[in-house]
Amino acid sequence: MTQFAPPMPDLDRSLPSREGDRVIQFREALREAMSEEMRRDPRIFLMGEEVAEYNGAYKVSQGMLEEFGPKRIIDSPISENGFAGLAVGAAMYGLKPIIEFMSWSFSLVAADQLLNNVPKMLYMSGGQWGCGAVFRGNDGAGGQLGSTHSWCVEGLYANVPGVKIAIPSCPYDAKGLLKTAIREKDPVFFLESERMLGDKAHVPSEEYYIPFGKAALMREGDACTLVSFGRPVNFCIEAADELRGEGIEVDVLDMRTIRPLDIDSILASVGKTGRIVVVDQCWPFASVASEVVTQVCERGFDLLDHQPVRVNSDDVPAPYAKNLEAEFLPNKTKIIAAVKKTLG
């Protein structure tokens, strides 16, 4: 593979400010990340269902067909296993595929390609054939989509070595993490949320790359450590702000990536607070939250003043009814209760 492949930029450079008035949507931030990278790197193409003519089922790729043409923005047949496998081959031969799953729920029909081929190709070929593709799409409950369409795949997929998993919680991170994902040599699963695509915030117009495996401290306090990733980070921030009104100040850590997991930052915070609540929209059993708690116990048992507490979705299939779905997911009320539990 001789074609130009831009290197990973210097990830130690300080990131631009989150403050500003260039307010755009989460979906626009994703689009900006892809478009900036595509302008630079001719190896990149975006493929998925409805990504081209229709501008994306969720309008993430709006206008990209116009700019990049049908050779690089490609409507695929409804064939998740098909385009996941095609991406493996294309990446093996040096292209940089960005694969959009309408929903990560539909990636389940591509499990063999995603879990048995993507993460292992480099390993099984003794370092000869990597699979540096980015797979992205909506993860988690999208709002009354029923149990087959509301999957949080992070618990399942994080179990497999060989992939990196990024899960942004806000537009700023969506751009910076996706740009890093596209520069990664390793395969990246990039988990977005239908419920956040319309979220608006300042996103710098400049190019920036958020390093993987470095959590962001979103609120600061010494009463308890709140750890989360993806959409529930926002609930943690709501909870923290409300708790502050009661005089309880907590650390809120946004992990940004699940693999790699920034356990050092978690331990540093727990060293200060002695308490931890992990908020994870997956089911509790064998979840990322379980992994965080386990690692904290293994490495920082002496730091704890209270048993770790998890806030997960309830251990049942995602409900269809509005009231039940709201009850099923982690939310501010549950998080506040969990923090108070650790405070005894």
Partner 1 sequence: MPVKNVYEARIEHLQILDEEARLDEKLAKWPDGRPVLTDAEVLELYQYMVRCRAVDDLAFKLQRSGRMGTYPQNRGQEAAAVGAGFAAKRGVDYLVPCYRENAALWMHGLPMHYVLLHWMGDERGNQIPDGVCQTPLCIPIGTQMLHATGIAWAFKMRKEARVAITFFGDGATSEGDFHEAMNFASAFQVPCVFFCQNNQWAISVPRESQTASETIAQKAVAYGMPTTQVDGNDLFAVVRASTDAIERARAGGGPSFIEAVTYRLADHTTADDARRYRDAKEVEAWQKRDPLIRLRSYLQARKLWDDAKQAALDDEAKAAATEVVRTAEGIEAPSTDEMFDYTFAAPLPAELELQKRTLQTHSLGQDPAQAGLSAQQA
- We find the least distance from the C-beta atom of residue 100 to partner 1, in angstroms, to be 16
Say whether 80 is catalytic.
Answer: yes
The residue from 49, 80, 194, 291 that is catalytic is: 80
Q: Is residue 307 part of the contact set for partner 1 (CB under 8 A)?
A: no
**∠ Cα 112 114 117 (to 5°):** 70
Find the binder of partner 1 among 16, 50, 62, 82 (CB under 8 A): 82
Find the binder of partner 1 among 59, 185, 195, 340 (CB under 8 A): 185
As to burial, measured by CB atoms within 10 angstroms (0-12 exposed, 13-18 middle, 19+ buried), residue 127 is: exposed
Report 36-75 residues binding partner 1 (CB under 8 A): 45, 71
Place of tokens 């990536």: 257
- Beta partners for 24? 201
Q: Is residue 84 part of the contact set for partner 1 (CB under 8 A)?
A: yes
The residue from 149, 154, 194, 325 that is catalytic is: 149
**∠ Cα 229 234 239 (to 5°):** 115
Provide the token pair at 267. Answer: 């331990």
Measured distance CA(329)–CA(327) in Å, rounded: 6
Q: Measured in Å, how far apart are the chain's first and last C-alpha atoms? A: 59
Q: Kind and range of the H or E element at 68?
A: helix 64-68
Would you give the binding string for partner 1 spanning residues 150-179, x where CB under 8 A is met?
Answer: -----------xx-x---------------
| Number of separate helices (H) and strands (E) present in the chain | 12, 14
Find the binder of partner 1 among 13, 39, 54, 79 (CB under 8 A): 79
- We find the least distance from the C-beta atom of residue 184 to partner 1, in angstroms, to be 8
Q: Answer whether 84's CB lies under 8 Å from 76's CB.
A: no
Q: How many residues bind partner 1 (CB under 8 A)?
A: 50
Q: Is residue 81 part of the contact set for partner 1 (CB under 8 A)?
A: yes
Say whether 149 is catalytic.
Answer: yes
Residue positions annotated with a catalytic role: 80, 149
Q: Give contact residues for partner 1 (rule: CB under 8 A).
A: 3, 45, 71, 76-77, 79, 81-95, 97, 109, 112-113, 116-117, 122-130, 132, 161-162, 164, 184-186, 213, 260, 264, 294-295, 298-299
